[in-house]
Structure 1
Amino acid sequence: MTTNSQSQSQQYQSQSRRNRAHLSQFNTTQIHLRNPFVVTFWSLMSPGLGYFMQDRTLKAFVTVIWGIFINVKAQINLAIVYSFTGRFDLAKSVVDKRWFILYLAVYVYGIWDGYRGTVDLNKQYRLADLEDAKLQTFNIASWDINFMDKRSPWVAVMWSAFMPGLGYLYLHKVVSGLFMIGWSIIVLYMSHALEAIHLTLICRFPEAKAALDTEWLLYLPATYAFAMMDCYIDAVENNKLFEKEQSQFLREEYPIAGFKMPRLSQE
């Protein structure tokens, strides 16, 4: 079954020079027009998020894991927390300069590559759209089934608000979804955010404040905001892709302008 799925995918790819989308059993990958400055902004917020927006999954995973590891070692988030509270001398003293300099090079590269890569992908998309290659609509394999369908952007946002990663699963981006869920669980656990929410609900505010680990808590706003925004955009673009495929099908099957659709007899 997997072999048939792969051969079907290769058949679609061999028919054109550039493809707008690829459906595998675990993922739906596509190129579409993106704002380079938006991708640059998320690359600035956290290394790897820009690559998630570009659907460059392997780069995203490696860069995110690398960024988290170096950030913790260099205590960059802790220094940011101290800076926000006006304790600049303390912020300066907690940063491990050896790890920070190592962090800086890849961080700047991610920002630059986020902008450059988005500009290049936009060019590739325009060429692929002009070519109007046939789109793959269905993929069935041993582990999962993937198909092109319309999905609600706001439902994707809702699930991402409950837990980052669920919106990706709704859009059948299984690998990205599982990675984001795992990352969110780690952050929620290490930051004691759920414990602080529980203490806040029972009005034990000083204990809730004391329970929080602000160094890890600083990851949460970007994680939640990015997951909701990216899933919304992905859902919108998937719906556009679905409509493009329908348009292709109708043009191929009913090419004559004067063709009249059959109707049921009035009898």
Structure 2
Amino acid sequence: MSHQNHWNARYPKIELRSFDSNYLRKTHPLMALWWNMAMPGAGHLMIGKIDKGFFLFIWEFLFNTQANINTAIVYSCTGRFELAKATLDTRWFFLYIGVYVFTFWDAYRLATEMNNFARLSQKDHIPLAHFKLSVIDINYLLKVNKWIPVLWSAVVPGLGHIYLRHYMVGGILFSCFVMTTYQSRLLDGIYFTVLGDFGQATHLLDMEWLLYMPSLYCFSIYDSHYRAIELNKMYEAEQAHFLKNTYTSSQLHLF
């Protein structure tokens, strides 16, 4: 089977391109569901459905912001329920809620399906794509320290994914972080907080945008750590297959 490559597999484990990669891996369906409840689209990004995840990120920012949902959440959590009701735009909200429920149901369904495909892919003993060279970039499987992407994701969401050469997911998270930071005036709020002017900091912060930050930040850290572990597994599987087919028992003579 040494003449075969990953294209011969019915369920390829990995697709390696010069600028990015995607791969089948097992994911707990409830984890995909949870991340989509926190930030619609995040669960899809985690299981490799990048196009749908990107679309849902755009949808979330558009519909959530138009409906003033995050602002209404802040007012509800502080006991100002009448103000929350007055703030919420029901025209956008009722359009939002149906798709929102669909997103975490769909993430659970797709995670279950991807897990089945991942199990089937383990039965195909096909060499994994491990090196991709092009005129614009070089991509490859390499064992990494799983805490380095966590560190960079904690500094700026998206950087951990870029370190792992997941440029599309990293670019999505980085762009969303920059947009959310700018629109929420988070850095201005931090600046005045450091100066001790808490009133001015509270006045400047836009809570409608600031409430996106915990989900983006935590997901970026979690997903970069998860991807580093899975990439290490892919690297070890590729190395094991290479060594097994290169140094077979018929070629190895100990005596």
Give the TM-score of the pair, scaled to structure 2.
0.95
Out of 86, 90, 95, the position equivalent to 1:102 is 95
1:82 aligns with 2:75: yes
1:250 aligns with 2:243: yes
Out of 193, 202, 218, the position equivalent to 2:195 is 202
2-side partners of 1:176 and 1:142: how far apart? 22
Farther-moved stretch of structure 1 (193-202 vs 240-249): 193-202
2-side partners of 1:210 and 1:92: how far apart? 21
2-side partners of 1:245 and 1:260: how far apart? 24
2-side partners of 1:22 and 1:57: how far apart? 13
1:37 aligns with 2:26: no
Which residue identity does 1:132 align to in structure 2? H
Which residue identity does 2:34 align to in structure 1? F
Deviation at 1:13, TM superposition (A): 4.3
Out of 168, 174, 199, the position equivalent to 1:175 is 168
The SS at the match of 2:123 is: helix
1:192 aligns with 2:185: yes
Q: Deviation per CA, 1:200-255: give whole Å up to 9, x if none.
A: 12222221122111111100111100000000000000000000000000110112
Contact 1:191 1:216 in 2 (8 A): yes
Which residue identity does 1:120 align to in structure 2? E
Corresponding residue number in structure 2 for 1:116: 109
Deviation at 1:133, TM superposition (A): 2.3
Deviation at 1:143, TM superposition (A): 2.1
* Structure 1 segments of 4+ aligned residues over 2 angstroms from their partners: 11-14, 257-261
Identify unmatched segments of 5+ residues in structure 2: none
The 3 A distance-change label for structure 1 pair 94 and 260 is farther
2-side partners of 1:260 and 1:59: how far apart? 53
The 3 A distance-change label for structure 1 pair 88 and 260 is farther
The SS at the match of 1:29 is: strand
RMSD (Å), alpha carbons: 1.5
1-side partners of 2:22 and 2:31: how far apart? 19
The SS at the match of 1:153 is: coil
Contact 1:51 1:114 in 2 (8 A): yes
2-side partners of 1:248 and 1:197: how far apart? 51
2-side partners of 1:76 and 1:170: how far apart? 34
The 3 A distance-change label for structure 1 pair 162 and 260 is farther
Q: Deviation per CA, 1:36-55: give whole Å up to 9, x if none.
A: 11110001111101111111
1:156 aligns with 2:149: yes
Corresponding residue number in structure 2 for 1:221: 214
Corresponding residue number in structure 2 for 1:91: 84
Q: Deviation per CA, 1:173-197: give whole Å up to 9, x if none.
A: 1111122111111100111111111
Give the TM-score of the pair, scaled to structure 1.
0.90
Contact 2:6 2:13 in 1 (8 A): no
Q: Deviation per CA, 1:48-70: give whole Å up to 9, x if none.
A: 01111111111011111011100
1-side partners of 2:195 and 2:86: how far apart? 37
Q: Deviation per CA, 1:102-126: give whole Å up to 9, x if none.
A: 1112111111111010011001000
1:145 aligns with 2:154: no
Corresponding residue number in structure 2 for 1:3: none
Deviation at 1:258, TM superposition (A): 8.3
2-side partners of 1:114 and 1:12: how far apart? 30
